[in-house]
Structure 1
């Protein structure tokens, strides 16, 4: 089995070797804080027995996994024929920090670090503008500041929020993204910290439960985005759901459409069935792809959701459960594979 001819990876987690790398891009008092005690990203506090990163992704010169651009090219980009890799970083957990000014400062510093230290290193690297939802006005300013950079191709925020992402306090972020022609992506990691929810049943006991339940958060955000009218208010906005799974999508669309038919008076701004907004505005990453015992079931599910136009490949490198483009979705037809592994991302990100 060989990789598809061309691949665009929509979720690659580059990082820095030490907090000192980020500190130089921060003003005081944050510079001293990060240099002496790290970013202080919120954490859900649930221990993983296997860690988060693959042990074989450590660069030969030392440092954390995915902290060396040259090694990433040799370990990921070249072996899998990746034309582009969207670098999503490792700082989105700042989304639950209690200090909105500090969170915004970290995002700005991380974006400047990305632009200087990563994007020039290889022609495949593209960046995401990290923003924090604690102060959407500051987030909108950051989007406007960097949207003109040719290698920054989306807006990124953490999916761990204290409210559904469709609610109007987040709308300045979407307005700025639409104004600048950029999609918005969300990514998990801090669910259960900073007053956010780890699951619909509260805080789970173990990492296995936490990791499995992440898709519940994505279901809630999807319903919120549609029902709050985000895609009517911002008709050109595209939304990317990274690392939230996708097997839940058919039943959510069916249930939401059914309920809308009886309860549409509560959402008079919606002009179409909820599922139509999801199909027209939302994209979902492959990793972590659900893996039924019978591969035919996944193919059936893909047919239910128009997957060839909504799904994009992501490796989630260098996390423990990351996927190789040579090993997933091998049973799909060549046209659908080409769209999922390449065409959809090329079109969405204007690459």
Structure 2
């Protein structure tokens, strides 16, 4: 089993100071952290989660924030569920995408990547790392992908679903070019819908957290339409697009609409050689958490089967967050289980059949 959404973090962003470009160190050390504030700099979200963003039982017994203690993560997640691999996505680090200063954002991303490869990657053979980039600095993002993308522990490039423009836009083509060159997928994790980025929904910010959380899939819809319409699979072979924590039930309806409109309006995008849904089957991957649960469970699998969902879905738990999905309690069709829990991620990330020594 492979878990494609595991959040590792720190107790204080001060851990980045030794890795941060000296030209930007004061931004963090004197501009962000004084006064007891230890969190990563980012533009704050407009909603308050009424229960908090984490599972209460994931606080390490020795103290510290959830996701910061390797031994406790190993006990609660890696060993308990006998994972072959865990794809680490960091915690606050991906919020670099919300910052107005693109040079500072890229400097923070570089510092995080060096820190996670130095500290977390060596702890366990099962860990694979996501390279965080700042998409508001696409040339800087491309340079960072090339700088660390060849590391044997790097599985993918990571951005947020919140962005200034949809990810197929030519603004981001330098990032796609570098990912294609390094043979790495680009993953968009739910979030980053604040700061310099667009509103999380087409009508503006929601009032309540549950309302916003349910509708954050809108950004995923826009990104899928954009990467397909701009022909990213044709222009940049060797990469794929992973949507993390954006839901899955909406994907069939969006692809059906894209197919219908493409057939009527295909003169706008003459570079496309296939239907959008055919590209999506090969190019788009979806993590399962949070998995929608209709009253008739078969309804979800029937719809997903129409678009090749068995080849697109990859299991994720979202540990240690509040809406964690237990792989033993999450039901998949029997014939889908091996692909969703293991095979699809193993093929995407090129992971060996066994991880080797555990810890």
Question: What is the TM-score of this pair, normalised by structure 2?
Answer: 0.93
In structure 2, the partner of 1:3 is none
RMSD between superposed Cα atoms in Å:
1.2
In structure 1, the partner of 2:2 is 8
Question: Do the aligned partners of 1:287 and 1:323 also contact (CA within 8 Å) in 2?
Answer: yes
In structure 1, the partner of 2:289 is 287
C-alpha deviations, 1:309-334, integer Å up to 9, x for none? 0000000111100101101124x11x
Provide the rounded CA distance (Å) in 2 between the counterparts of 1:187 and 1:47.
19
- 1:197 alignment partner, one of 185, 196, 199: 199
Q: Answer with 291-300 or 254-263: which moved more.
A: 291-300
SS of equivalent residue, structure 1 residue 104: helix
**Displacement of 1:70:** 1.5
In structure 1, the partner of 2:24 is 30
Unaligned runs of 5+ in 1: 1-6
In structure 2, the partner of 1:18 is 12
Provide the rounded CA distance (Å) in 2 between the counterparts of 1:35 and 1:268.
50
SS of equivalent residue, structure 2 residue 310: helix
**Displacement of 1:29:** 4.3
In structure 2, the partner of 1:236 is 238
CA pair 209-124 structure 1, distance change in 2 beyond 3 A? same
Provide the rounded CA distance (Å) in 2 between the counterparts of 1:201 and 1:56.
36
Provide the rounded CA distance (Å) in 2 between the counterparts of 1:239 and 1:54.
28
In structure 1, the partner of 2:56 is 55
In structure 2, the partner of 1:39 is 40
Provide the rounded CA distance (Å) in 2 between the counterparts of 1:195 and 1:340.
32
Provide the rounded CA distance (Å) in 2 between the counterparts of 1:235 and 1:190.
27
- 1:115 alignment partner, one of 110, 114, 117: 117
Question: Do the aligned partners of 2:181 and 2:238 also contact (CA within 8 Å) in 1?
Answer: no
- 1:104 alignment partner, one of 82, 103, 106: 106
Provide the rounded CA distance (Å) in 1 between the counterparts of 2:238 and 2:26.
41
CA pair 181-195 structure 1, distance change in 2 beyond 3 A? closer
2:325 aligned with 1:329, yes or no?
A: no
Provide the rounded CA distance (Å) in 2 between the counterparts of 1:192 and 1:203.
10
Q: Which runs of 4+ in 1 moved over 3 A?
A: none
In structure 1, the partner of 2:278 is 276
**Displacement of 1:188:** 1.6
SS of equivalent residue, structure 2 residue 65: coil
Unaligned runs of 5+ in 2: 34-38, 352-359
Provide the rounded CA distance (Å) in 1 between the counterparts of 2:123 and 2:197.
38
SS of equivalent residue, structure 1 residue 139: helix
- 2:312 alignment partner, one of 307, 310, 313: 310
C-alpha deviations, 1:120-166, integer Å up to 9, x for none? 11111110111011111111111111112100111111111111110
Question: What is the TM-score of this pair, normalised by structure 1?
Answer: 0.95
**Displacement of 1:195:** 4.0
**Displacement of 1:198:** 1.2
Question: Do the aligned partners of 1:43 and 1:93 also contact (CA within 8 Å) in 2?
Answer: no
**Displacement of 1:44:** 1.9
